[in-house]
């Protein structure tokens, strides 16, 4: 990589997944990275602890947007980035994923005519009801470099007539993050003891997407299905989900679940890797399970990660399908785990952060 001047690359992020997936890139950039944080995950339990856990430097700049409507978040962040880039122009702007922060970073970089690098480009759910779909399309079409994790992502970009020379195949940075942060077996045992659960004899579940937690029918269906599973379910509750459960008066549905506060990433990896299986609506978890080889029930109407469907993940909408898939897995759990252990992750090896930095350096030198 070409040596870059100090604080010359603006790395824009605002949520927990962005911190997780960009930590390796920031570490390799070293003094060249200027971390710009929007606080889109405004709860410190969902963001602050992750800077510390990854040994990632606290942000150089904080562009606060907080818990606002989507349009307000994008508007405020775009103005904040525009002011920042006018005052201290970076050589390149890096965004990751499909958040409101990503859309704002892409718009501001484009307005300032600064090269944009979009990490995790080319994901498509083809579901226009998802705000994330619009955010990722904006970033891809404005980016100077679209860093695609898989061949499927690359084909999606080409289908939208994004020039091949703008596309770089890197794999997904999540692979490096999981491998680097996964606790050793002894530490995993200690973490399980803290939650009073046994390896392979529980389910780990998370939910936060509006389609699930803002819809009382869907939320109740999910909670009922989880409560009816024949093995314990550990459920770290996202603040959004807590608010909705209180609003819909569903507290009683939690009585059969092991409800815990949001947990750190290393704890989550330990719980996921030692679980029987996972049930979640998270995009990142769909990638992570392919690294530590556990099956996942994805409770959503669509997914932008088809690479894991039919192998590491099964897609189902809220309702009885959750229990049906779970029952089949529980009956043959050793076989399911053994089969997945033989499969390679579709998201590559641990080299994505290095390839990402090379792509950043290339546009910065142009």
Residues annotated as part of the active site: 208
> Distance (Å, rounded) from C-alpha 83 to C-alpha 316?
44
Distances from the Cα of 326 to the Cα of 58, 147, 235, 307, 350, angstroms? 40, 35, 16, 21, 31
Q: To which residue do tokens 């605002």 refer?
A: 14
| In contact, 130 and 281? CB cutoff 8 Å | no
Which residues have CB under 8 Å from 222's CB, separation 6+? Answer: 207, 212, 299, 318, 322
Of 215, 280, 223, the closest CA to residue 250 belongs to: 223
Confirm if 167 and 161 have CB atoms less than 8 A apart: no
Rounded distance between C-alpha atoms, residue 90 and residue 303, angstroms = 34
Question: Which residues, at least 6 apart from 80, have a Cβ–Cβ distance to it below 8 Å?
Answer: 38, 63, 64, 65
Yes or no: say if 18 and 96 are a contact pair by the CB < 8 Å rule: yes
Residue 47 in 3-state DSSP? coil
CA–CA gap between residue 10 and residue 222 (Å, rounded): 40
What is the rounded distance in angstroms from the CA atom of residue 295 to the CA atom of residue 340?
A: 8
DSSP output for 72-137: HHHHHHHHHHHHHHHHS--SEEEEESSSHHHHHHHHHHHHTT--EEEEEET-----TT-HHHHHHH
Return the exposure string of 19-46: e unless at least 16 CB atoms fall within 10 Å of the residue's CB, then b: bbbbbbbbbbbeebbbbbbbbbbbeeeb
């Amino acid at each position: 990589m070409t040596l870059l001047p100090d604080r010359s690359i603006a790395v824009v992020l605002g949520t927990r997944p962005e911190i997780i997936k960009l930590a390796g890139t920031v570490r390799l950039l070293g003094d060249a990275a200027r971390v710009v944080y929007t606080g889109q995950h405004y709860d410190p339990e969902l963001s602050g602890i992750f800077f510390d856990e990854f040994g990632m430097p606290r942000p150089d700049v904080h562009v606060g947007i907080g818990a606002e409507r989507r349009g307000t978040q994008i508007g405020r962040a775009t103005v904040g980035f525009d002011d920042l880039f006018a005052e201290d122009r970076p050589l390149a702007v890096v965004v990751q994923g499909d958040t409101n922060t990503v859309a704002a970073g892409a718009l501001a970089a484009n307005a300032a005519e600064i090269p944009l690098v979009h990490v995790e480009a080319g994901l498509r759910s083809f579901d226009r009801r998802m705000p994330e779909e619009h955010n990722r399309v904006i970033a891809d079409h404005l980016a100077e470099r679209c860093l695609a994790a898989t061949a499927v992502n690359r084909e999606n970009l080409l289908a939208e007539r994004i020039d091949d020379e703008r596309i770089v195949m890197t794999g997904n940075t999540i692979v490096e993050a999981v491998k680097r942060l996964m606790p050793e077996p002894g530490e995993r045992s200690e973490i399980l003891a803290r939650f009073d659960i046994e390896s392979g004899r529980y389910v780990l579940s998370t939910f936060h997407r509006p389609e699930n937690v803002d819809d009382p029918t869907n939320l109740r269906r999910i909670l009922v299905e989880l409560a009816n599973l024949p093995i314990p379910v550990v459920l770290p509750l996202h603040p959004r989900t807590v608010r909705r459960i209180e609003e819909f008066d569903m507290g009683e549905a939690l009585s059969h679940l092991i409800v815990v506060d949001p947990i750190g990433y290393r704890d989550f990896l330990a719980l996921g890797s030692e679980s029987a299986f996972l049930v979640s609506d998270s995009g990142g978890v769909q990638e992570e399970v392919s690294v530590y080889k556990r099956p996942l029930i994805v409770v959503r109407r669509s997914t932008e990660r088809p690479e894991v469907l039919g192998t590491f993940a099964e897609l189902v909408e809220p309702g009885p399908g959750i229990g049906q898939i779970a029952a089949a897995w529980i009956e043959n759990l050793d076989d399911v785990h053994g089969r997945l252990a033989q499969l390679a992750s579709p998201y590559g090896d641990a080299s994505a952060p290095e390839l990402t930095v090379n792509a950043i350096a290339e546009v910065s030198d142009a």
